[in-house]
Amino acid sequence: MEGKQRVSKETLEVNLRELKRQYKEILALNLSLNMARGKPSPAQLDKSMELLQYPKSFTLRDGTDVRNYGILEGIPECREFFGELLDLNPDHIIMGGASSLNLMFDTLASHCLFGTGGSKPWSYYKYEGTPVKFLCPVPGYDRHFTCCEELGIEMITVPLLKDGPDMELVKKLVKEDPMIKGIWCVPLHSNPSGVCYSDAVVTELASMETAADDFRIFWDNAYGVHHIYEEVPLKNILKECAACGHPDRAYYFFSTAKITFPGAGVSLVASGAGNIAELKKHMSAQTISHDKINQLRHVQYFGTPEKLKLHMKEMAAELKPRFDVVLRKLEEGLSETDLATWSNPKGGYFVSVDTMPGCAKRVVSLAKEAGVVLTGAGATYPYKKDEADSNIRIAPSYPTVEELEKAMDIFVLCVKVAGTEKLLNEQ
């Protein structure tokens, strides 16, 4: 904030008066804009409508009728399709229902109820008064944190650096504390800051020494094929874990929520042979099979992984102009101030903005009053507590480019108002 300190109180007051005048003008417009939700736009959804013409036949190559009961782990055709797309062993994939979050929650809940690999049920530790802990790279995905909170798993934040979690800190913590049983990771185009894990980070996660034998990496590759500006490679965590002698360390989650239809796609979990056998055993008590018609629908519609990737290029073409607006408006409005920094994602669904400490809530509140709904400040932190009150998640996917132009002008103005207020208060 070196530059700012030279600005006099009088100048700040003049600036703030002008900013508030502009803000008042906007209030009068009674706008209703929303940059809160990581939802595909209707134009994106339209691109998958032909999916619903499938399946055109219902018999698998082994003769199974997908319209009837059976095949808990999902149809082989679908496991092979995603195995090829993601470089996973189809035999170590279980297809879930429409939601990978559901698979993550259920996997975590099953560890709480039953333990894993012969370990004590994780709930048992809570019962004894020493709850299990998870590492949460921040800023991160609020629904991961909600899973932990719901299940009584204590969350320990670790900073998410530009190539992954702060591995020095992670390695130290997991080596020391046997109650740390896992870590949440969104390894590509992370929510919200767009971080992509480097090969070195993947290797360290796979190889590091952990005090807990039942330490698990929850690898939510939600944006694994969701490149916008640049296709970013990702080292294969499952292979790396196996190579490092920890074949059951990681659970790999994926879904087509943001490929075809959110809430009506297919999801999967992949892991080592031991974990998969264990999950199947638990899942066999929970259900008979997931929606095989929808699995076959997706396989027949896409045909090949290459076609899915082409489909994602069309999605990127919808998203890019929206991200362009957000990044351009931030650049134009704030690059010459010290009021905020922001991410430059290569893909995914979000732009992450860090205001000056203590300003995020104020910005979100000012924006809301002016008709622009943002994700709640703090939502990207466990227990919704961003100690610095600085991080704001911007979701550009749903609004139109025109709406984003307006919404971002307001956002930038709100950052300026809140920042100038703070500078004045500090004088």
Q: Running DSSP on this structure, what letter comes out for residue 85?
A: H
Q: How far, in Å, CA of 166 to CA of 45, rounded? A: 36
CB nearer its own copies, residue 67 or residue 328: 67
Which span sits near its own copies by CB under 8 A: 120-128, 170-178, 318-326, 342-350?
A: 120-128
CB nearer its own copies, residue 104 or residue 340: 104
Q: How far, in Å, CA of 234 to CA of 390, rounded? A: 29
Burial per residue of 405-422, b for 16 or more beta-carbon CB atoms within 10 angstroms, e otherwise: ebbbbbbbbbbbbbbbbb
Q: Running DSSP on this structure, what letter comes out for residue 159?
A: E
Is 124 one of the binding residues for its own copies (CB under 8 A)?
A: yes
Which span sits near its own copies by CB under 8 A: 81-89, 261-269, 372-380, 407-415?
A: 261-269
The structure tokens listed for 213 are: 């034998």
The structure tokens listed for 285 are: 């008590």
Is 147 one of the binding residues for its own copies (CB under 8 A)?
A: yes
- By CB under 8 A, the residues from 211 to 250 that bind its own copies are none
* 164-165, strands of its sheet edge to edge: 93-95, 267-270, 250-255, 216-220, 180-185, 133-138, 154-161, 164-165
| Residue 353 parent element (H or E) | strand 351-355
**Contact between 357 and 309 (Cβ < 8 Å):** no
**Contact between 366 and 414 (Cβ < 8 Å):** yes
Using the rule CB under 8 A, which residue among 13, 65, 176, 331 binds its own copies?
A: 65
Is 268 one of the binding residues for its own copies (CB under 8 A)?
A: no
CB nearer its own copies, residue 133 or residue 416: 133
Is 395 one of the binding residues for its own copies (CB under 8 A)?
A: no
Using the rule CB under 8 A, which residue among 4, 39, 235, 320 binds its own copies?
A: 39
CB nearer its own copies, residue 74 or residue 272: 74
Min. distance of Cβ 285 from its own copies in angstroms? 4
The structure tokens listed for 220 are: 């939510």
Q: How far, in Å, CA of 1 to CA of 3, rounded? A: 6
Is 47 one of the binding residues for its own copies (CB under 8 A)?
A: no
Is 282 one of the binding residues for its own copies (CB under 8 A)?
A: yes
Is 321 one of the binding residues for its own copies (CB under 8 A)?
A: no
Min. distance of Cβ 230 from its own copies in angstroms? 26
- Residue 384's Cβ-count burial label (10 Å; 0-12, 13-18, 19+) is middle
CB nearer its own copies, residue 290 or residue 346: 290
Q: Give residues in contact with its own copies (CB under 8 A).
A: 37, 39-40, 42, 45, 48, 52, 65-70, 97-99, 101-102, 105-106, 109, 112-113, 121, 123-124, 127, 143, 146-147, 149-151, 257, 261-264, 282, 284-294
